[in-house]
Structure 1
Amino acid sequence: MATEGSDFLIEAATYLGAAAIAVPLFNRAKLGSIVGYLAAGIVIGPWALDLLHPEEGVFHIAELGVVLFLFLVGLELSLSRLWALRRDIFGLGAAQMLVTGVLIASVLLAADMMTWQASVIAGLAFAFSSTAFALQFMKDRGELTTPYGRKAFPVLLFQDLAVVPLLAILPFIAGSAGEAAGWSDAFKGIGVVVALILISRFVLDHALRYVADSGSREAFAATALFVVAGVAAAVSWAGLSMALGAFLAGVFLAESSYRHQIQTDIEPFRGLLLGLFFISIGMRLDLSAIASAWVLVVGGALGLVVVKTILLAGLARSLGTGAGDAIKVGAVLSQGGEFAFVVFSLGVEAALFSSGNATIMSAIVTCSMVLTPFAVMVAARLANRGEAGQRDNLEAPSATTGHVVVAGFGRAGQIVSQVLVPAGLDVTAIDRNGRHIRNAQRFGYKVYYGDASRLDVLITAGLDDARALILTMDDPSAVNHAVEAVRARLPNLPIMVLAHDRLHEIHLQTFEPTFIVRETLESSLTLAGETLRELNVAAPLIDDYIAQFRGRDRERLLAQIDQGPEAGKDILHQRFTPPAP
């Protein structure tokens, strides 16, 4: 027993140590944490140092990282927002699967590498991208909420939905005896999804409230993990993708009042297990198979990345996506997906693929994951060149002194400038939206083109000699990046920030800007004050109520920073204290 415990500790230390060494190195090289995890897995795996072996039990535990990741992604959405994505899900997503699958199947069939049945299944399997890889890669780069990130996500979601039909048709195409099971699994999956909807609607919130009322954060965290694991187990039993089930569970809880606490409690587990997942993928990379057929593996991986990038970029462009974003969508989804490993394994059992073919195809998928960061780098450069060619000679910022830099010239940036300029201040305004810049020119304002989330752009605009920096961009991640970078370089510069919402304001506090105001705060207070005035409330009393609200709002914000998003709820419903006579 002691030996088993020691072995477990050694394995755990090896996993953690490999990640601790590899990930920082690859992050410094701007290749991303995922490639670092893959490299760590290759090095400690059986084909290099042989410190660990890719046991199935470890791989299944690691898959929980993907499950938790998709659950957290679901928490960021709601059913209404998901419905709004339906055009991209069933338009771009379906087109990508169909066109990519048919093209790759045709290539395999034309090369006489396998039967038409095997070619169809292999083509569809290669059409899948890695949900875990692509989403984590964009998250690492702060690009999940960018225009191209919002286009890539629906494609990944459709691919998860396509898991069930592909598993259903595999026995039919293989001609095995399990045909009826495919359709029964489909009906079983529909029943499980309906049951989950009903449970989340009428049971789950009450259960979470019961646990939360106990006051135990550990019990609440355990309950949140149980919900994710239970949903994943249920949908897996029904033949659905565990990742899809976890995503649906997150969507169902997106409207829950406990959403933010769940997100806070699950995040640490998600990071560790997702890292373990990618390490285990790296350990499964058979270097001997690659060495014996390296031309086929490397060429196949390169071909897969190039073909999927071109196809996806073309499809996205035909559906109205900008050229630069279309290229980046294609590149970030150009790799093969982890679901392909499952298909290849089932294909061997159904006698569709030989064991050797399955090994080569799995190696191609893994190598394509390694190539993806490089493909994204190339795509980003191509996109930047394309944008540069479309700027119609928009002027870049140049350094001046004694001025105020306004980053973002939308509605808020325009109003800020309309106050500062008549007050006698020089304003250098930056925006990356050409339409904003041209609109500003119509009214006599000079706005420069630039990505204000980049420190080098701000420095070029004269940040080092500026009297203040005002950030009004509509992308919270870009604002966060800019505040963090500027504060590290210029600790004493006044940084005034427009926060997207309350949670964004809480997050911004960690970067120590000089002043933060939420987008809708002042307009909402003005609206409330005017409403009270119309209802004949005395002006001094209105001012007192607004002052009391500001104090309570500040108190609640500080409590949320220290204790989490649910803190200070009791303050919301307290009556204002009447002023002393």
Structure 2
Amino acid sequence: MPHPEWIQSAIIYLSAAVICVPLFRKIGLGAILGYLVAGIVIGPSGIALISDPEKLLSLAEFGVIMLLFLIGLEIAPRKLWEMRKSVGITGTGQLLISAGLICVGLFFLTKDWDIAWILALTLGLSSTAFAVQLMAEYEILPTPLGRQGFSILLLQDIAVVPILFLVSSLSADESAASGSPAVTAMVLVAVILFGRFALNPLLRIIAHYGNREVMTAASLLIVVGVAELMVAIGLSMGLGAFIAGLLLANSKFRHQLETDIEPFKGLLLGLFFIAVGMQMNLELFLQEPWFILLGAFALMGVKTLVIVGLLKFQKFSLRESLFLGVMLCQGGEFGFVILSQASAQGLVEAHLSQQINLIIAFSMLFTVPVALLVKKFVSKPKNAGENTYDSIDHEEPEVIICGFGRFGQIIGRIMTASHIPFTALDKDATHVGFVRRFGNKIFYGDASRMDTLEAAGIAEAKLLVLALDDPKTITKIAHQVRVHWPHVKIIARARNRGHAYQLYAEGLRHIIRETFESSLQAAAITLQELGFTEGQALEKVDMFRIHDEQLLAEAVEYKDDLAKLIEVASEGRKELQDIFEKD
């Protein structure tokens, strides 16, 4: 039986990634540089295990398409409106001013304003992966300064799509713009109407009658199908994927779609960066080291100065402005994406594209050491609680409710009445559709999957309420959250005393037994009907509650020993009787 060549190639790609990416993340340089170095090592400039990176690039570009879909999925119109001030001033200002200054310098190199402007916009983008990681590490994301940084990154993510569209429009390949404007407009309107009125009902049917694999297939079909349709009318696949994401940004299936697409995006995007690394010309760096290094430092300097100026204009201190500026001064991963498209369409010659690729890569390489150097001289920004800047957290939940049946809905209604943002997850598509008709914010998704919880915002949440019907699922989720997000407080529904033992053993202390409180309330009413005063009845009920909770805590270590549990329960009854008699 012949041995397929692609298996050997896959082993080489995966081995390079498995070795390089963890190593680079461990030393603080990030996964993207790890992928790039992996590509350099196995590519023509390294040990030449792979000689033709173009074959990989054609497949890996689907990772870019899925990334653009997820960007559209995360950009809910309401969130953009709430952030309009910071995105409009800081985000737009950073990109346009940085690109304008860089464009002037590039014009003397290219002698073409169109190419210079495309490259300037490309270099004006920062690395979201690097910047968010640094801001999280230095604990500035929840501060006013961190919000400004997030606004800059959000605007850049949005700007990628029009930049790619601009590349297509300026391309020498006229086929990219061969579609009739009328046909293009009609198809776009049809896609929007389909997304608005038909897509959610279709997904609801698939969720109800299919399984997880079918839902994943549907997610991929949406992305690739809309992207291919855009190509048919003369637009880019990336624009189609972005439009598909926007159409589903407010869908109840949003978190599930994000969860299903994320693994494919991550793998294919990693392959894309490996392919970019394989195309990097190390011989060019050895021939022009000073040009590449000076270009990288010039890029970092220009972007830092622009960000410092914009933040000083908004009354931030020089130290704070410099602190954020160096975190966002590098070139971004989208730069590789745009350069790849521009080169493929003949807009930018190969030599210049390789130079810019190297400049972006080295600017990313220098970001971490420069940030560490600046950190020594700049104090961490204060988390000013009294600030009046636009908040970016309205879409981020303080509470996540897993399971939105009888138990979860009451909690959700009280949260809504108290103006506390929450996100509810339920994997019954029919129930989700019914509950949303009453104005509840609920999403279709399997809360037992960690990637679904991540998509729902578990990392930023303060509380997780486990209100599901299935005790095993509740225990499983509780264990996962305790391990991966120990800062999140958990309030869990317990089916019975045995389930409460399991949750207590997992370290939970806020355990609500389904019938416990209602039984205590019934006991209090019973005592009153028998002649006890309300105060006497409530006192006895409180004594029982305290005693039973103490007994529960003591019996946890014997939860698997029935004989010992019976013994503890017998002793508990005697103790309770003694307490009541003394009272």
Partner of 2:295: 300
Corresponding residue of 2:28: 30
Q: Is the 8 A contact 1:66 1:243 kept in 2?
A: yes
CA drift of 1:222 comes to 0.5
Q: Deviations over 1:223-267 (max 9, x none)?
A: 111111223333455565645543443332233222232233223
Letter of the aligned partner of 2:508 in structure 1?
T
1:160 aligns with 2:165: no
Are positions 1:119 and 2:116 aligned together?
Answer: yes
Q: Equivalent residue for 1:444?
A: none
Q: What is the rounded CA distance, in whole Å, between the counterparts of 2:374 and 2:95 in structure 1?
A: 21
| Cα distance in 2 for residues equivalent to 1:361 and 1:11 | 28
Q: 1:58 to 1:299 in 2, by over 3 A?
A: same
- Is this contact kept in 1: 2:134–2:327, CA < 8 A? no
* Separation (CA, whole Å) in 2 of partners of 1:51 and 1:380: 40
Contact kept, 8 Å, 1:90 with 1:158, in 2: the verdict is no
**1:198 paired residue number:** 193
Q: Give the aligned length.
A: 413
> Do 2:195 and 2:247's aligned partners in 1 also have CA atoms closer than 8 Å?
yes
- What is the one-letter code of the residue matched to 2:147? P
Q: Which residue of 1 aligns with 2:394?
A: none
Match of 1:68 among 55, 66, 69: 66
Give me the TM-score of the superposition, normalised by structure 1. Answer: 0.59
Percent identical pairs in the alignment equals 32
- The separation in 2 between residues aligned to 1:515 and 1:333, in whole angstroms, is 45
2:310 equivalent to 1:332: no
Equivalent position of 2:18 in the other structure: 20
Tell me, yes or no, if structure 1 residue 221 matches structure 2 residue 216. yes
Provide the secondary structure at the position in 1 that maps to 2:459: helix
Aligned to 1:345: 343
Q: Name the SS of the counterpart of 2:245 in structure 1.
A: helix
- What SS class does the counterpart of residue 338 from structure 1 fall into? helix
Opposite residue 296 of structure 1, the aligned amino acid is F
* Distance verdict in 2 for CA 1:265–1:345, change over 3 Å: closer
Change (3 A) 1:41 1:139: farther
| 8 Å Cα contact 2:184-2:233 kept in structure 1 | yes
Contact 1:73 1:250 in 2 (8 A): yes
Deviation for aligned residue 1:345: 1.8
Alignment of 1:477 onto 2:455:
no
Aligned pair partner of 1:103 in 92, 95, 101: 101
Residue 393 of structure 2: aligned partner: none
**Cα distance change, pair 234–17 in 1 and its aligned pair in 2 (3 A):** same
Q: What are the residue-to-residue correspondences of 1:282-293 with 2, within 5 Å?
A: 282-293=277-288
Closer, same or farther in 2 for the Cα pair 1:497/1:249, shift >3 Å?
Answer: same
Residue 260 of structure 1: aligned partner: 255
Shift in alpha-carbon separation, 1:165–1:233, aligned structure 2, 3 A: closer
What RMSD in Å do the two structures reach over aligned CA positions?
4.6
Matched, 1:276 2:258: no
SS of residue matched to 2:379:
helix
1:17 positional shift: 0.9
Question: Structure 2 CA distance, aligned partners of 1:78 and 1:282?
Answer: 33
* Deviation (angstroms), 1:15: 1.0
Q: 1:219 to 1:112 in 2, by over 3 A?
A: closer
Distance 1:342 1:280, change over 3 A: closer
The offset of 1:292, in angstroms, is 0.9
CA distance in 2, matches of 1:325, 1:513: 42
Q: Do the aligned partners of residues 203 and 13 (structure 1) sit closer, same or farther apart at CA in structure 2, a change above 3 Å counting? A: same
One-letter amino acid of the counterpart of residue 116, structure 2: S
Query: What is the Cα deviation at residue 322 of structure 1?
Result: 7.1
**Residues 135 and 141 in structure 2, CA contact (< 8 A), matched pair in contact too:** yes
Q: Could you give the per-residue CA deviations for residues 286-324 of structure 1, whole angstroms, max 9, x where no partner exists?
A: 111111111111221221122223223433443566763
Cα shift readout 1:494-520 (whole Å, capped 9, x = no counterpart): x88546999xxxxxx9x95534699xx
Q: Give 3-state SS (helix, strand or coil) of 1:514's partner.
A: coil
**In 2, Cα distance between the equivalents of 1:199 and 1:273?**
28
TM alignment of 1:415-434, pairs within 5 A = none
Partner of 1:78: 76
- How big is the shift at 1:47? 0.5
What does the per-residue CA deviation read over 1:192-236, in whole Å, with 9 as the maximum and x for residues that have no partner? 554332121111112112222223221111011111122333345
Matches within 5 A, 1:172-251: 193-237=188-232, 242-251=237-246
Report the alpha carbon displacement of residue 181 of structure 1 after superposing the two structures with TM. 7.4
The structure with the larger Rg is 2
Once residues 167 and 68 of structure 1 are traced to their aligned partners in structure 2, the CA distance between those partners, rounded to angstroms, is: 19
Q: Distance in 1 between matches of 2:234 and 2:89?
A: 25
One-letter amino acid of the counterpart of residue 156, structure 1: Q
Cα distance between partner residues in 2 of 1:271 and 1:253: 20
Structure 1 spans left out of the alignment, 5+ residues: 392-411, 413-474, 481-486, 503-508, 519-524, 530-538, 544-581
Instruction: Supply the distance in 1 between the matched residues of 2:134 and 2:182 (Cα, whole angstroms).
Output: 34
Q: Is the 8 A contact 2:95 2:121 kept in 1?
A: yes
Letter in 2 for 1:45: G
Query: Shift of residue 368 of structure 1?
Result: 2.9
TM-score, normalised by the number of residues in structure 2: 0.59
C-alpha displacement at 1:103, in angstroms? 1.0
Structure 1 residues 372 and 226, CA, compared in 2 at 3 Å: closer, same or farther?
farther
- Relative distance call for 1:53 and 1:189 in structure 2 (3 A) is farther
Distance (whole Å) between structure 2 residues aligned to residue 18 and residue 363 of structure 1: 20
SS at match of 2:23: helix
Matched, 1:57 2:55: yes
Contact persistence 2:227–2:238 (CA under 8 A): yes
Which stretch has the larger CA shift, 314-323 or 285-294? 314-323
Q: Secondary structure at the match of 1:361?
A: helix
The aligned amino acid for 1:260 is H
Amino acid at match of 1:331: M
* Change over 3 Å in CA distance of 1:96–1:290 after alignment to 2: same
State the shift of 1:280 in Å: 1.6
Structure 1 counterpart of 2:459, which letter?
S
Q: Using a 3 Å threshold, how does the CA distance of structure 1 residues 149 and 187 change in structure 2: closer, same or farther?
A: farther
SS at match of 1:65: helix
